[in-house]
Structures are given as structure tokens and as C-alpha cells.
Structure 1
Amino acid sequence: MAPTLALLLLCQVALYTTATSKKVCGRPPVTDGIDDTTLKRVYEIGEVVILACGQGYLPSTAASSRIICSDTGEWTQLNLACSPKMCPIPRPLQPLAMGRTEAPFKSVLNFTCDDGYVMLGANESRCLHDGTWSNPPPVCKAVNCPLPRAPRDGRIVHDKSVTGSTTMYGQGWTYECTSPKAPSYERGSCMADGTVPEPPVCREVSCSIPTNIPNGVITFAVMRPHGYKEKVKYACNEHYVLDGEAEIQCQNTGNWSSKPVCRAPCTVGIKRGRIFYNAKKLWIADLKPNRVFHGEHVAFYCLNRDERCGYPVVSTCNDGSLPIPECFEEPGKVEYSLRAKTLPSEITMCASSPPASTTSSTRPA
């Protein structure tokens, strides 16, 4: 009984081996754009498949699209390559497309409008298989607002003339009240959501008695509380420079606008050497008086030791402080008196200044 069973099992193995030894080809490997909707999972030896580009693609070469399942179970070489069809980008959108004039099949353009504009049309468009877009670019139309209401005891002054019963997004106006009252806020505009602010309240405001500023004076003012939009003017003492608006105004908040500041002059803090100031090359002893006004520039001369040449480094007077460049070396009395022609200011000037890291550092005057 046992030998018969063994022979039967061997016959079954032989039959299985014979049935499965026949080679087949699997599903052909295809590249992007090739139509694979009709392909099977398994092909017999010798079967021929003719491939084609799918919808929205074109063959990029004239190569054969025919492949054969070989007796080794491998497909012959496929030379077909497919490229997507292109949709022309609308000319007004090309600057936003980084100079591109076309987009490939399946590309999507997304559209948005700036704040204060509403979109008329679709917010996206897709490149279709026939090289056209699914939707035209939309139009962005400015939001319209109803005309604002004037405050009680006041009026509105528009920045631009207005016709009709609406105004466009971004257009503004000023609220004015009958003197001596002031509006609780002065400006309004058509907002992005199509609304306008409620009119302000007109009320009386008063600013405190104006005060002097350091190193300056009030040039003309009655020393009393001031009403809305009344002004006071300031000036600086001699040699000081006014920084800011000379006139301040009583605001609708009951506060004065920002006062100016009087900036102090500077002293050039060296005893020996030459400087460049007011378009002149001066020995420091000839700078009389030793005074530089706020905001003015002074150039000090430094030595480039490698090139044995001089170069200027500029410093600026800032409210009484004139930093001296780190590279500047004040000469000694003997060098200054007897060998002045060897100083950086007197020797050949460098063709270019050293790197910024060398010239930008300064030390206090």
C-alpha cells in the first residue's frame, strides 16, 4: 500500500510542475500619461499589446507603441512616452505665474481677491484634456458702501468727490464738528465688509496750558487752556536744532500733539589731528568755536597700516554726542608738531576703505 501512495504523490508533483512551468507576463509597466484602463493582469507568451496616450496627453516621440510578451516572461522595450497637453495661461495672470505662459493638463489655478473686493465668477479653474480651462478668470469688483452719516452738530468732508448713494472700498473722509466742538474720532472710510462707521460724537475738548520744552521756548502763545485745533509754536535756544514739528495742535482727545525736541550741539573731542567738516579739511585748532550741530557729519582720518595710506571715517553728531572712530589715533605732541605730514590725513588716500568691521566701530568722544 505504501509504494502505491508514494507513486501517486510523485505523479501529482510532476503534473503540478508541468502545469505551472509555462511562463506568462504580468501587467505591462507604463509611464505617466499612458492609458492603462484596458490592461489585463496576466498575458500569454506572444501576446501583443498596443499602448496609447491617455486623454489629455500626447505622444512626445514617434516611437512604436507595440510591446510583446516574450518567452522569458518579460515585455519587450516600450519606447512610447506621453506628455501632458498644455493650457495657455491668460495674459493678465502671467506675471503671477513667474513668467510661465502655459500650464500642464490637470493644473489648477486658484483665484482670490484682495480685501475690499468681491469675486464675480469661479474661484478656481482646471486645465482640461483638450487644452482649455474649465472656467475663465473671475473679476474682482470693489465693495460698495452706503454713504456715511454726518455727526450731529457737524458735517463730512470726503477725500474725493462722491456721486450717487454709495462710495467704494478704501475711500475716506473727515468728520468735522461745529466750532468749538471736536469729533470723538476724525477719520472714517468704506470698509472691506461694505460697512461704514457710525458717526462720531461732537463734544467740547480742552488742552492744558502749554509748557516749555528743554532748551527751547514757546514763540507765541497765550498761557491758557486751548480749544480743539488751536496751535502753539516752539523754537530752540541758540545752537540747538529743532527735531520734530515746530507747531503742536490741540487734538480731539484733549491732548497736545507731540512736542518737538531741541537737540544739543557736539564738541569734537580731540586735541590734535585734522578733520573734514562742512566740505573743508580743517586742523582741529582751526575749528572755532569747537562746535558741530546735531545731525552734521565729521570725518576723522585713520591709517591703513598694510597699505600705508589714509582713509576717512564719518561720525554724526547726535544730540550732544559725537563718537570718535576706534581706528582714529590721536598723534602725540611731537608727532603733531614736527611730523604732521606723516599723519593719516596728509599721506596718500587709500583707493578704498578697509572692511566695514574695521571702520564702523566708534568710541565715545
Structure 2
Amino acid sequence: MRMRPAFQRLLLLVCHACLLNTVTTDKVCSHPPPENGSELSGGQLFYEPGTQVTLSCSQGYSNAGGSRKITCKKNGEWTERELKCSPKRCPVPESPQNGNAGFNNIVYKSVIRYSCNDGYVLVGANSSECLHTAQWSEPAPQCEPVTCGLPDIPPYAKIVYDKQFEEDTVQFGFGGIYECLPPMVLFGDKRATCTAEGTWTVPPVCKLVTCPVPSAIENGFLSFAEMREHGYKEKVKYGCHYPYLLDGPAEVECEETGSWSRIPACRAPCTVDIERGRILYKGVKKWIEDFKPNQVLHSEQVTVYCLNEEGNCGYPVSMQCNDGHMPTPACYEEPSATRYQLKAGSLPSEIKQC
């Protein structure tokens, strides 16, 4: 008996549904993905429940213990992995001289970033990666110093270098001091330095500086000086007519400001303003009438003697000449002419000292 075509098609659909329901009762597992450094090399796309596979550590990882087996479960998931894989470690990097190696870790796939200090240039790779072989992908670079050519020297100037050198280039940090040839004066930074950019600092300039005709001083003179303008660093000498004394430097110099250094003055001598009595001058006691000439030079000291009435003793009091002025101490009492003539031994300078 032959089946009708429509019945045949219905029967095929029923069989197909039954077959599909039978196959999909248990779910299959997909190929296990790489995880925490472990993976399944090769294999198929799907695995039936109950299938057991063997994992291994991925490239760049080392076996740190635990079972390598996992099994496909009926729910389509794999059993929990027990295999422990740790990333391989590369050697601890060293910073290049005059530079730095920056990194957070030294395990597989870690990266070092190299840099150089100011004034140095990186020669080599600026980064390196830790490979699966536990070696760095690039050797450590070097930091070479920046170099400068010879500096420009301004007109009328010279430069005194920090040390001798033979090449036409110098390294970062090297330098010297500019000096202007007299009567020129240096304006600007006298220090020359090869900078981190490979250039020299801005040089100074040398300008002509002159001082006016040196001025005369009262009661004094200029020694062999030409009455003209003088250039920077030129010097003149001053002196005083006797008995005036020079107060200040005898030699003055034309400074970079266009002015002379401190001009001295001639200070006047003093006289001891007593008529009767005994003084001490330069360590020697003298009666005032024997003190000839009665003249004390500027800044010199003279001692007179005063009376301590309570102790009936004498005591010395000094006075100093200051440009023609030397007041007598208030405690000094000048004796009468009679006492001075007849009883000089009773004066404060002659009796017991306090």
C-alpha cells in the first residue's frame, strides 16, 4: 500500500522533532577560552558532556601547581580550573647613567619607559617589553651628554674656561667666566654655560667706562696724576701736606659705575688746650711746656690726669684728636700758677694713682 505524499512529509517532520529533542537534552561545551594564563592548545570547537581535556600554561606563563584537567558538565560549562599559571619575570632593570627607568612591574608584557636627565640625550630604545622568554625586548639605552660648540666671545672680551679641553665641542654644564679688557666694563652675566638645549647662555657686552677728572682735596695733592678722564680700573694716589693726615685710602680706583672709589680727606692736627699740667703722649709723660710743638695728629690720643677727691688719688683720662678738635675732659682742673710752680708734686699726675 502506497503512502500519500502529504502523509510522508508529516511523518518526516515528527521524526525530525523527536531526533532534535534527543540530541539537545544535554548541552555541549564550547572550546575553553584562555584564562588567567592557562589555555587549551588545539582541540575542537565543541565537546560532549563528560569529556575531559588537559590545559597548559600560555606562552609567557609558568606552571605554579594545580591539576591541569577540566571536564565538560551537562549544563554546558567546564569544571573550575585548578591549574595556576604565573607570568614569567624579567631581570630587574637598571637605570641608565644620568637617566631613569620607569616601570610598575617586571613580569610578562610589562613595559619599561626610559628617560634621561636634563642635559642628556637618549641613545637607543625609549621603551622595552618583557617577552615570553623572560627577557627584555630591547637592551638598556644610554644617556649621552648634550654638547655645545665653542661660545661666542664679545668684542673686547675673553673667556677663562673651567678647565682645559682639546675638542671643538664641550659637554652640558661646562663653562667659564667672561672678562672684559680694561678700560671696558662687563654688563650682563659673566658666567658662560653650555645649557641642556645645546646652546650657550647669552654672553655679556663690554662697554667703555670712564671716570671724571679726579677731584682735588683740601690740604692735599694728587701724586703724579694726569688731570684727565680715567678708564675703568685705572688708579690715582692722594697725599696730604704736613701736618695734615690722610683719612681713607691713599689709592683710589675708577669703578665700573663710572665713579671713583672712596676719595680720602686730609684731617687737621690738634693742640693740647691746657697751660699748666702734665700729659701722657705716646707712652711718655711730659710737662705741657716741654711738649713742643704742641701738636697732635688726627686720630692720635693724649692723656691728662684728673683728681678723685674722695680717694685723694689721680686717674688718667684720654682725649682723641678728630680733624682739629680735641676738647679737654671736664674733670681736668688746671692748677694755679703758684701751685704749679711750688707744689707740682701734688698734682693728680704726680700723686698716687687710683
Q: TM-score, structure 1 length as denominator?
A: 0.49
- Aligned counterpart, 1:334: none
CA contact (8 A) 1:226 1:250 kept: no
| Correspondence 1:109 to 2:126 | no
CA contact (8 A) 2:119 2:197 kept: yes
Question: Quick one: which amino acid aligns to residue 167 of structure 1?
Answer: V
Paired residue secondary structure (1:75): coil
Counting only pairs closer than 5 Å after superposition, residues 170-249 of structure 1 correspond to structure 2 as 170-185=173-188, 186-197=190-201, 199-204=203-208
Q: 1:203 to 1:164 in 2, by over 3 A?
A: same
Paired residue secondary structure (1:86): coil
CA contact (8 A) 2:68 2:83 kept: yes
- Aligned counterpart, 2:327: none
Distance 1:188 1:104 in 2: 47
CA contact (8 A) 1:182 1:203 kept: yes
RMSD over aligned CA atoms reads: 4.1
Q: Residue 170 of structure 1: CA displacement? A: 1.1
Paired residue secondary structure (1:164): coil
Distance 1:31 1:123 in 2: 31
- Aligned counterpart, 2:122: 119
Q: Residue 11 of structure 1: CA displacement? A: 6.0
CA contact (8 A) 1:86 1:103 kept: yes
Q: Residue 250 of structure 1: CA displacement? A: 7.2
CA contact (8 A) 2:32 2:39 kept: no
Question: Quick one: which amino acid aligns to residue 141 of structure 1?
Answer: E
* Alignment counterpart, residue 89 of structure 2, candidates 83, 86, 102: 86
Q: 1:151 to 1:58 in 2, by over 3 A?
A: same
CA contact (8 A) 1:189 1:196 kept: yes
Paired residue secondary structure (2:22): helix
CA contact (8 A) 2:101 2:115 kept: no
| Correspondence 1:76 to 2:79 | yes
Question: Quick one: which amino acid aligns to residue 59 of structure 2?
Answer: Q
* Alignment counterpart, residue 43 of structure 1, candidates 47, 57, 64: 47
Question: Quick one: which amino acid aligns to residue 90 of structure 1?
Answer: P
- Aligned counterpart, 2:146: 143
CA contact (8 A) 2:100 2:117 kept: no
CA contact (8 A) 2:27 2:74 kept: yes
- Contiguous gaps of at least 5 residues in structure 1: 208-224, 231-248, 255-365
Q: Which protein shows a greater Rg? A: 2
Question: Quick one: which amino acid aligns to residue 142 of structure 2?
Answer: V
Q: Residue 60 of structure 1: CA displacement? A: 0.8
Question: Quick one: which amino acid aligns to residue 118 of structure 1?
Answer: V
* Alignment counterpart, residue 165 of structure 2, candidates 162, 165, 189: 162
CA contact (8 A) 1:31 1:81 kept: no
Q: Residue 160 of structure 1: CA displacement? A: 3.3
Counting only pairs closer than 5 Å after superposition, residues 281-320 of structure 1 correspond to structure 2 as none
CA contact (8 A) 2:176 2:192 kept: yes
- Aligned counterpart, 2:22: 18
* Alignment counterpart, residue 52 of structure 1, candidates 56, 65, 82: 56
Q: 1:11 to 1:251 in 2, by over 3 A?
A: farther
Paired residue secondary structure (1:18): helix
Distance 1:120 1:59 in 2: 38
Q: Residue 146 of structure 1: CA displacement? A: 1.6
CA contact (8 A) 1:23 1:71 kept: yes
